[in-house]
Amino acid sequence: MPLREAGAVTGVGETKYLRGTDRTALSFQLEASLNAIRDAGLKPSDIDGLIPYGHGAVAEDFITNFGIKDLRFSATTPMGGASAVASIQCALAVIDAGICNHVLLSLGRTGYSGGRIGARVQQMPQFKLIGEFEMPSGAIAPAQLYAPMARRHMELYGTKSTQLAEIAVTTRQHAMLQSNATMQRPMTIEDHQASRMISDPLRLLDCSLESDGGAAVVISAVDRCRDLRKPPVMVMGVAEGHPDSPSAITQRPDLTTLGLAKAAPKAFAMAGVTHDDIDVAEIYDCFTYIVMCQLEDLGFCKKGEGGAFVENGALGLNGRLPVNTHGGLLSQAHMAGMNHIVELTRQLRGEAEAQVPDAEIGLVTGYGDMGDGSIAIMRRD
Amino acid sequence: MDTTYDKLVPAPTPDTQPYWDGLKEHRLRLQRCADCGKVRHYPRPMCDACWSMNTDWVDAAGTGTVHSWTITHYAFHPGWKGDLPYILLTVDLPEGVRLNAQARGISESALRVGLPVKVGFEPVTEELTLPVFEAV
Ligand SMILES: [Zn+2]
Residue B125 within any structural domain of the chain: yes
Please indicate, yes or no, whether residues B72 and B55 belong to a single structural domain of this protein: no
Listed in sequence order, the DSSP H helices in A40-160 are 59-66, 83-96, 117-120, 128-133, 142-157
The residues placing their C-beta within 5 Å of ligand 1, an ion, are B 33, 35-36, 38, 47, 49-50, 52
> Would B118 be classed as within a structural domain?
yes
Shared domain check, B74 and B117: yes
Give the separation between CA A240 and CA A250, rounded to whole angstroms: 22
Which three-class secondary structure state does DSSP give residue A350? coil
Q: Examine the domain organization and report whether B126 and B112 are in the same domain.
A: yes
Question: Is B23 in the same domain as B77?
Answer: no
Instruction: Report yes or no on B109 lying in a domain.
Output: yes
Report whether pLDDT(B8) > 70: yes
Buried b (16+ CB within 10 A) or exposed e, B28-48: bbbbbbeeeeebbbbbeeebe
Residue A150 to chain B, least CA–CA distance (Å): 9
What is the Cα Rg of chain A in Å? 19
Q: Give me the half-sphere count of Cα atoms (radius 13 Å) on the Cβ side of residue A12.
A: 22
On whether residue B3 sits in a domain, the answer given is no
In tens, the pLDDT along A58-89 reads 999 999 999 999 999 999 999 999 999 999 99
B79 to chain A nearest CA, in Å? 9
* Confidence category of residue A121, pLDDT binned at 50, 70, 90: low
Q: Measured between CB atoms, does B48 come within 8 Å of chain A?
A: no
Tell whether the model's pLDDT for residue A119 goes beyond 60: no
Looking up residue B91, the CATH number of its domain turns out to be 2.40.50.840
Tell me, yes or no, whether B74 and B45 share the same domain.
Answer: no
Give yes or no: residues B17 and B54 share one domain: yes
Q: What is the pLDDT of residue B3?
A: 62
Answer whether residue B70 is part of any domain.
Answer: yes
Average pLDDT over residues B12-30: 97
Measure the CA–CA gap between A279 and A106, rounded to whole angstroms: 26
pLDDT tens, residue by residue, A307-361 = 999 999 999 999 999 999 999 999 999 999 999 999 999 999 999 999 999 999 9
Asked if residue B18 and residue B67 are part of one domain, the reply reads: no
Query: Can you give the pTM of this predicted structure?
Result: 0.97
By the 8 A CB rule, do B74 and A199 touch?
A: yes
Contacts A–B by Cβ distance under 8 A? 104
Average pLDDT, chain A: 96
Q: Which of A143, A151, A248 sits opposite B68 (nearest CB)?
A: A151
Q: Mean of the pLDDT values across residues B29-45?
A: 97
CA of B46 from ligand 1 middle (Å) equals 8
Q: Kindly list the structural domains of chain A, giving each domain's residue range(s) and its CATH number in brackets, ordered by start.
A: 7-113+212-234 (3.40.47.10), 133-207+238-380 (3.40.47.10)
* Terminal Cα-to-Cα distance of chain A (whole angstroms): 19
What's the domain count of chain B? 2
Domain that holds residue B136: 61-136
Chain B, nearest residue to A147 by Cα:
B70
> Considering chain B, what is the average pLDDT of its residues?
96
Is B5 within the bounds of a domain? Answer: no
Task: Compute the average pLDDT of residues A28-34.
Answer: 98
* Confidence at residue A125, expressed as pLDDT on a 0 to 100 scale: 73
Q: Which residues of A211-230 are buried (b: 16+ CB within 10 A; e: fewer)?
A: bbbbbbbbbbbbebbeebeb
User: What is the CA(A264)–ligand 1 centre distance, in A?
Assistant: 31
Span A263-267, average pLDDT: 98
Contact present, B73 and B39 (Cβ < 8 Å): no
Residue B122 CB burial class (10 angstroms; 0-12, 13-18, ≥19): middle
- DSSP helix, strand, coil percent of chain A (3-state; round to 5): 40, 20, 40
CA distance to partner chain A, nearest, from residue B72 (Å)? 4
Burial class (CB in 10 A: 0-12, 13-18, 19+), A276: exposed
B88, A118: Cβ pair inside 8 Å?
no
Distance from C-alpha of A337 to C-alpha of A375, rounded to nearest angstrom: 11
